[in-house]
């Protein structure tokens, strides 16, 4: 089983092979995704929302990201692991950005990091790439900009927004990123960017014309409560329902004396 590397991901675009990406935050889920054959596992700062229950990704810290990245790296054998740089880990200076990117590699065991932002983050991307840490860009809807943007809404619907996002895409590639996430933009814009760039584009809510797709694992398997999922999510299972029915059955078994049964008990040797 060959380990997936950054050059392998770039080659997938050259060969016209689609790139499926999923998030994971724990060792057991990472193991399952890896064994199922996912080429990239992203330890997204979405963990703050889907695992901790925050309203935004903004409170997530570097230490929390490193902890979860370590867990994911323990669970995977083959997939490339990308650590998502959280808010305030790369915005306040190039040295801090370099140090935090390095922590993902040295302490977390990741092989690449993700940075939100286009033109505004060109220097940061360049600085991290210059120390040989591969960077995945992230443009379009960037959840760490939630307060400036005023909500999680589709981007690139006006001519001006479109021009800005196209420029962001080109700048991220020029700054040395090996791939770029494009979030919540109309499919034709994502398709145009995918045609222009030589690095792989990974879409989320960006239609079918990108080189790859990424989803949050909790959305895909139905582990996000009864909350309304965004339009771009396809739910493949309802694990939440399965957990609930297993727990209800367990509660009944315990309260009605069916668990533990004989086969769950240790024997004395006499």
Q: How many residues bind ligand KIV (CB under 6 A)?
A: 10
Q: Is the dihedral of CA 191, 197, 199, 204 positive or negative?
A: negative
* Cβ at position 268, least distance to ligand KIV in Å: 51
Question: Do the Cβ atoms of 115 and 124 come closer than 8 Å?
Answer: yes
Considering only 165, 214, 221, 223, the residue that binds ligand KIV (CB under 6 A) is 214
Q: Which of 13, 23, 140, 165 binds ligand KIV (CB under 6 A)?
A: 23
Is 192 among the residues that bind ligand KIV (CB under 6 A)?
Answer: no
Question: What is the closest distance, in whole angstroms, from the C-beta atom of residue 136 to ligand KIV in the complex?
Answer: 9
Pairing of β 40-43 and β 135-140: unpaired
CA distance 125 to 226: 37
Does position 82 interact with ligand KIV (CB under 6 A)? The reply is: no
Q: Does 219 bind ligand KIV (CB under 6 A)?
A: no
Q: Which is nearer to ligand KIV, 135 or 216 (CB)?
A: 216
User: Which of 4, 22, 44, 62 touches ligand KIV (CB under 6 A)?
Assistant: 44
- Is residue 152 a contact partner of residue 143, using CB atoms and an 8 Å limit? yes
Q: Residue 32: how many CB atoms within 10 A of its CB?
A: 17
Report the b/e string of 91-108 with b at 16+ CB within 10 A: beeeeebbebbbbbbebb
Pick from 82, 135, 172, 181 the residue near ligand KIV by CB under 6 A. Answer: 181
183 in active site:
yes
118 is a site residue for ligand KIV (CB under 6 A) = no
Closest CB to ligand KIV among 193 and 253? 193
| Active-site position among 183, 226, 227, 263 | 183
Number of Cβ atoms within 10 Å of the Cβ of 125 = 27
Using CA of residue 87, residue 91, residue 95, residue 98, what is the dihedral sign? positive
Is 204 among the residues that bind ligand KIV (CB under 6 A)? yes
185: contact with ligand KIV by CB under 6 A: no
Rg, C-alpha atoms of the chain:
21
Strand residues in 78-141 grouped as ranges (E): 80-84, 112-116, 135-140
Q: Does 216 bind ligand KIV (CB under 6 A)?
A: yes
Q: Give me the residues that bind ligand KIV (CB under 6 A), please.
A: 23, 42, 44-46, 84, 181, 204, 214, 216
- Hey, which residues are catalytic here? 183
């Amino acid at each position: 089983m060959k380990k997936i590397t950054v050059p392998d991901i770039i080659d997938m675009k050259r060969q016209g092979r689609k790139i499926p990406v999923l998030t994971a935050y724990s060792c057991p889920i990472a193991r399952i995704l890896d064994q199922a054959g996912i080429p990239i596992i992203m330890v997204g700062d979405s963990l703050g929302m889907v695992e901790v229950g925050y309203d935004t990704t903004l409170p997530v810290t570097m230490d929390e990201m490193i902890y979860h990245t370590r867990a994911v790296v323990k669970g995977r054998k083959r997939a490339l692991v990308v650590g998502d740089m959280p808010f305030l880990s790369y915005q306040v200076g190039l040295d801090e950005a370099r140090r935090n990117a390095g922590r993902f590699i040295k302490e977390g065991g990741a092989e690449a990091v993700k940075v939100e932002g286009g033109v505004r983050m060109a220097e940061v991307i360049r600085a991290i790439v210059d120390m040989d840490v591969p960077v995945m860009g992230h443009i379009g809807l960037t959840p760490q900009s939630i307060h400036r943007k005023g909500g999680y809404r589709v981007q690139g619907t006006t001519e001006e927004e479109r021009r800005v996002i196209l420029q962001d895409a080109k700048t991220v590639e020029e700054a040395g990123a090996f791939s770029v996430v494009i979030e919540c933009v109309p499919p034709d814009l994502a398709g145009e960017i995918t045609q222009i760039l030589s690095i792989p584009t990974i879409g989320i809510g960006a239609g079918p014309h990108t080189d790859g797709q990424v989803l949050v694992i909790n959305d895909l398997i139905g582990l996000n409560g009864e909350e309304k999922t965004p339009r771009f999510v396809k739910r493949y299972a309802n694990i939440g329902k399965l957990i609930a029915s297993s727990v209800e059955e367990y509660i009944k078994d315990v309260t009605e004396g069916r668990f533990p049964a004989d086969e769950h008990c240790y024997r004395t040797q006499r």
